[in-house]
Structure 1
């Protein structure tokens, strides 16, 4: 008001304007005392007659008053809105939206939208309460029916703006189409699922008992056919039979459940197939679960989101990441994103398949979706990169782990030492080894063995032995892993007596020697000319041939050939090719040369 008065009376000083304001405020208060605050607002207030002020002056007073009241109302609504933003219902809808993949500005807008709707709903019911108590005359409408004496007064409810809507998690269920859907669901459920299964008695009960007592190898089909003929079952009858079978004869449950899926009266749906596939996957019966999935597709039943998720887990367990990736793409085609369990399965499948780079790509995708990878995922990727000697990748995973809040552990530090050792970077391996000790981890047998392996690649025996002496001063006791590296190293240096002494220490530990030791022993005994011991070690190796890698094959074959065990070398060479390993060029030439020499001797 001061601003408006100053504009209208620029020649007046501050004291005069103050006097005018006192008079205006007095008149406004007087009018408020007569009619209340409501009289000061609304379109009718600006036309209020007054003997003291002109119409223009009163209009200005009402405009200023309305602006102030509107600001007050806005502030009240803001405070009220804050309360609804923190209400449990809105929080629950917010969490649900986040779980289905909604993020960023859209999620914030939805939260404000839900809070505003809750506030409007609350205001509507408050107006109803005010009307019931007679406190709000503005929001009620009255009609007088009849005339004269005995007039009947009819009072209406407060007017609601817009149409009442019913929403669940932001889904508008007031749309007429949902009524049609509800009618269809209700109708189908009445047809498909009677309230109770039929009573089983007489001969039908005897047949049911026989089904429950089926032994391994018995064909259930004839009994099921007889049971169907006697009972004429509906879906609920089949469900009751399967539930009972699960409790009383669980080892035949899966076989019979698979037969029931094909029964017309069971009316199998997508969820029935998904449940059976999931149960089989959990039992590690992967071939059976894949067969059920194929039947599902053959019968024209389309998989849903749950089925695709189960399919991902199934193929990951069976070691088929390509099919698992296809199932993952089908899941995304449904408009949904995989959850953390699906990501975990996919990443671990890629690691087992020797494709950790693809696993890391999925891990980065998780991070962009605010899904925190588990420590197991980080360690699996770090281990895969370390075993492959990919130091840059291993370093990246290690750094990401620390940014995610996982402190370096003895295991992760050991893997970094192993990564640099395999890559032949002894200095960086030793740097990680010393850093591990500095942050408070004491190297164990495995970590020390990894560091010795790094020194072995550089053939720095003095440095390796000095490291062992330093660790033993601090209380370290070598174990089987450390001794195994020493035996391998000494055998390569043809220090056979020293290797035998270390071998005796392995026996003193009481632990079973690792398979890798047999490779070293075979090589050592061949070089030493100990034929009997060499063949014994070779027999152990051939009994576990699936554990050999390409480098192991190369080392054993070269050793056998140079030691004169040509027949054994050729046999191992054939096994290597059968495993799908590609021999090196030099090994191919050596084996071809030995074959030529053999042919010449035979002539």
Structure 2
């Protein structure tokens, strides 16, 4: 051996003398040194040495050796005060680096153990002990037996070391290899954290308003998924190579599944002598403690802590929490779980993830209770995630409750919270609250995207305010955001149902400029809009355009066209249109018949109306409520008492379906026909439902009280 430090020369010389003697003497010399390493510093039997490792409380009154393990894990500095070198002709640089790291970590931990126990020994004695131990470990590594040594539970594989000494070597070796594996995974994770894909996802998340702890958690999650994906394909590739080469024993069926989680960590098997170098630094300088703390703080930001292992009574309590029912109170079990585990934030997150997977019914209830726990370290993103969970279930009350708690805790909602609220209120049709959330987004300086605009426009449409939705549509165009065809059609549909011709035409023109496909619904809505707006000529123009574009008009579109003619009482044009369509193979349906029946009823063409009733009966469909309103109106004004009361009875049976317009038309018809008593009864039903009575109807009822005169019923 070639050593640079003079403090080890004497120990090396003694070791060389021992090695130069015959095997029996050499064995005796190593046994003597091994005995000298025992706690009593005297030769002892194999069952007595290193008893301090079995009961560290009795033999290690100072700080435990885990302090040294933490230092090696966080600083990754050189650990030994020993330097040695073995020459090998077939060694590889990468493997030598792995061996160097293993031996450096091993000697650092063993030095700490020996120093804590042998407080009276000087540094040279400790170095001598370490040399003997390291020589034996290197000997095992050269044989390729380090894997067997680490994974074995044999008490004393060597006669030179006592059973307890060898057990200590085994424990420290296993500990070092596990730390090296964790460090390797941590370095690998850092590469994925800086990968282009993860950076791109983080950039997009930042654009939509995700910040702080939530973004950090998502970044680690994405990097972990990428790493696991790559490991999976690498394991498949290794499996394929092993199959092709057909070398060695047959692989176990579960080898690939357990490859990523080996039971015992190990170094690669080596051939020949090992070339290694153990580096040393003076760790007594306080600056190294500061360096270790800084590195630990920086790595904690990207490497989350692992949850605590759960066992014993705490595990039983956890199982009870996971099996709770929706109506149960989890407060007592949570308090017991907190007392037993003393959880940190990572433990809480682990619990909530298990609840979300295994018992989603109580997940939100417990998540809401966890917000007030100090150990959870609640952030604004935690409130936002819970609000989003309630919003997805359309639980407005729950979302607003969490929002109030968020404000009370001093954490103000951000742009992400406002976005969630816009979607939720738009979905439930609360346009006022949706507008408040939408304006708060602007106050944060956040520019709404396509989804937010769509939700807000939908809210205005559902509230019967398509004009406000149209203003947002124009705002999208100024920001070069192209609205979808669905948004345009929703606005056109709203304008058509309300009879707003101008709004419908504006949306139609925008759709033409955007080169959307003009389908049959597009033309049908324009026909409906102009028909309800009282412009039958323009309605007929769009009706003819629909036919020119190859769309065959259906029953609903035809009914809207006939209704347009009805508003202007153009009966001849309406009948001509029907005759023309019937020549082209069109067959009227219940919608067209209902419009014609209402039209003929207003003209008191009783016979024609009853013929249309027969046509509807032939279709085998139930007449809509509008038909019964028209019949009651016609028979009342015609003075046909029996049929009028029969139609009125149907309306009373379906009174919950009647609107204010249907009520007023029925009451006016009854008053006009002289059925004053029946008119007052229907008026009472209308008021009971909370509908406002028009002034014209009030005057008609007052006049009927003054001039109460029942009309002579007809003989029909």
TM-score by length of 2: 0.54
Q: 1:360-406, CA deviations, whole angstroms, 9 ceiling, x for partnerless residues?
A: 00000000111111111111111221222221221111001110111
For residues 377 and 681 of structure 2, the distance between their equivalents in structure 1, rounded to whole angstroms, comes to 57
- Indicate yes or no: 2:661 matched with 1:538: no
Report if the CA contact (8 A) 2:628-2:647 is conserved. no
Q: 1:212-248, CA deviations, whole angstroms, 9 ceiling, x for partnerless residues?
A: 2222422222222222222222222222222111222
Shift of 1:556: 2.3
Alignment of 1:110-125 (within 5 A): none
For residues 645 and 570 of structure 2, the distance between their equivalents in structure 1, rounded to whole angstroms, comes to 32
Report if the CA contact (8 A) 1:193-1:236 is conserved. no
Q: Which residue of 1 aligns with 2:370?
A: 260
Report if the CA contact (8 A) 1:196-1:236 is conserved. yes
Identify if the C-alpha distance between structure 1 residues 420 and 249 changes in structure 2 by more than 3 Å, giving closer, same or farther.
same
Shift of 1:573: 4.0
Structure 2 counterpart SS, 1:475: coil
- Indicate yes or no: 2:406 matched with 1:296: yes
For residues 517 and 304 of structure 2, the distance between their equivalents in structure 1, rounded to whole angstroms, comes to 58
Identify if the C-alpha distance between structure 1 residues 369 and 316 changes in structure 2 by more than 3 Å, giving closer, same or farther.
same
- Indicate yes or no: 2:614 matched with 1:504: yes
Identify if the C-alpha distance between structure 1 residues 188 and 321 changes in structure 2 by more than 3 Å, giving closer, same or farther.
farther
Q: 1:503-538, CA deviations, whole angstroms, 9 ceiling, x for partnerless residues?
A: 333333344544433433443454442255223321
Q: Which residue of 1 aligns with 2:599?
A: 489
- Indicate yes or no: 2:515 matched with 1:405: yes
Alignment of 1:114-153 (within 5 A): none
Structure 2 counterpart SS, 1:459: coil
Q: Which residue of 1 aligns with 2:350?
A: 240
Gaps of 5+ in 2: 1-195, 210-292, 709-716
Structure 2 counterpart SS, 1:477: coil
For residues 262 and 346 of structure 1, the distance between their equivalents in structure 2, rounded to whole angstroms, comes to 33
Identify if the C-alpha distance between structure 1 residues 262 and 435 changes in structure 2 by more than 3 Å, giving closer, same or farther.
same
Structure 2 counterpart SS, 1:259: helix
Report if the CA contact (8 A) 2:323-2:359 is conserved. yes
- Indicate yes or no: 2:313 matched with 1:203: yes
Gaps of 5+ in 1: 1-87, 102-182, 599-603
Shift of 1:342: 0.5
- Indicate yes or no: 2:672 matched with 1:559: no
Alignment of 1:7-26 (within 5 A): none
Q: Which residue of 2 aligns with 1:359?
A: 469
Report if the CA contact (8 A) 1:193-1:235 is conserved. no
For residues 327 and 314 of structure 2, the distance between their equivalents in structure 1, rounded to whole angstroms, comes to 23
Alignment of 1:370-519 (within 5 A): 370-519=480-629
Identify if the C-alpha distance between structure 1 residues 521 and 245 changes in structure 2 by more than 3 Å, giving closer, same or farther.
farther
Shift of 1:421: 0.9
Identify if the C-alpha distance between structure 1 residues 433 and 369 changes in structure 2 by more than 3 Å, giving closer, same or farther.
same
Shift of 1:276: 2.1
Shift of 1:308: 0.6
- Indicate yes or no: 2:275 matched with 1:275: no
For residues 189 and 272 of structure 1, the distance between their equivalents in structure 2, rounded to whole angstroms, comes to 23
For residues 567 and 316 of structure 2, the distance between their equivalents in structure 1, rounded to whole angstroms, comes to 74
Name the Cα RMSD after superposition: 3.4
For residues 534 and 189 of structure 1, the distance between their equivalents in structure 2, rounded to whole angstroms, comes to 81
Q: 1:255-294, CA deviations, whole angstroms, 9 ceiling, x for partnerless residues?
A: 2222222333222222222222222222222232222222
Identify if the C-alpha distance between structure 1 residues 400 and 274 changes in structure 2 by more than 3 Å, giving closer, same or farther.
same
Identify if the C-alpha distance between structure 1 residues 340 and 237 changes in structure 2 by more than 3 Å, giving closer, same or farther.
same
For residues 320 and 674 of structure 2, the distance between their equivalents in structure 1, rounded to whole angstroms, comes to 67
Structure 1 counterpart SS, 2:662: helix
Q: 1:473-509, CA deviations, whole angstroms, 9 ceiling, x for partnerless residues?
A: 1111112211221222222222233323323333333
**Highest CA radius of gyration, 1 or 2?**
2
Aligned residues: 425
Identify if the C-alpha distance between structure 1 residues 261 and 589 changes in structure 2 by more than 3 Å, giving closer, same or farther.
same
Identify if the C-alpha distance between structure 1 residues 337 and 501 changes in structure 2 by more than 3 Å, giving closer, same or farther.
same
Q: Which residue of 1 aligns with 2:246?
A: none
TM-score by length of 1: 0.64
- Among candidates 226, 229, 245, match of residue 339 of structure 2: 229
Q: Which residue of 1 aligns with 2:456?
A: 346
Q: 1:287-308, CA deviations, whole angstroms, 9 ceiling, x for partnerless residues?
A: 3222222222222221111111
Identify if the C-alpha distance between structure 1 residues 184 and 518 changes in structure 2 by more than 3 Å, giving closer, same or farther.
farther
For residues 393 and 187 of structure 1, the distance between their equivalents in structure 2, rounded to whole angstroms, comes to 61
Report if the CA contact (8 A) 1:553-1:572 is conserved. yes
